[in-house]
């Protein structure tokens, strides 16, 4: 059994892609600065963002993201 607890809050971001699409991405609100998507995007150490939801898995090259906008925080149900 995993000892990881499910996040209580999620921080959501809009990923504005170079092709004009906007994708929504969420991560644990308690993710330390520099360790989440913003840190990965700024550092350039990772080449891809990998994440999934109930229906799809995504692999997005960071070089295809024009900019990221922090949108809202939501409590998990």
- The average pLDDT across 1-18 equals 79
Q: For residues 39 and 20, what is the distance between their CA atoms, to the nearest angstrom?
A: 23
30-68, pLDDT tens digit by residue?
888 788 898 888 888 889 988 877 788 888 999 999 999
Judge whether residue 71 has pLDDT over 60. yes
Q: For residues 71 and 73, what is the distance between their CA atoms, to the nearest angstrom?
A: 7
pTM given for the model: 0.78
Domain ranges of the chain: 9-75
């Amino acid at each position: 059994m995993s000892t990881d607890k499910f996040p209580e809050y999620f921080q959501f971001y809009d990923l504005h892609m170079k092709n004009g699409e906007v994708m929504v991405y969420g991560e644990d609100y308690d993710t330390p600065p520099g360790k989440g998507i913003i840190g990965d995007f700024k550092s350039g150490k990772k080449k891809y963002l990998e994440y999934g939801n109930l229906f799809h898995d995504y692999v997005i090259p960071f070089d295809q993201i024009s900019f990221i906008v922090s949108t809202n925080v939501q409590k998990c149900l």
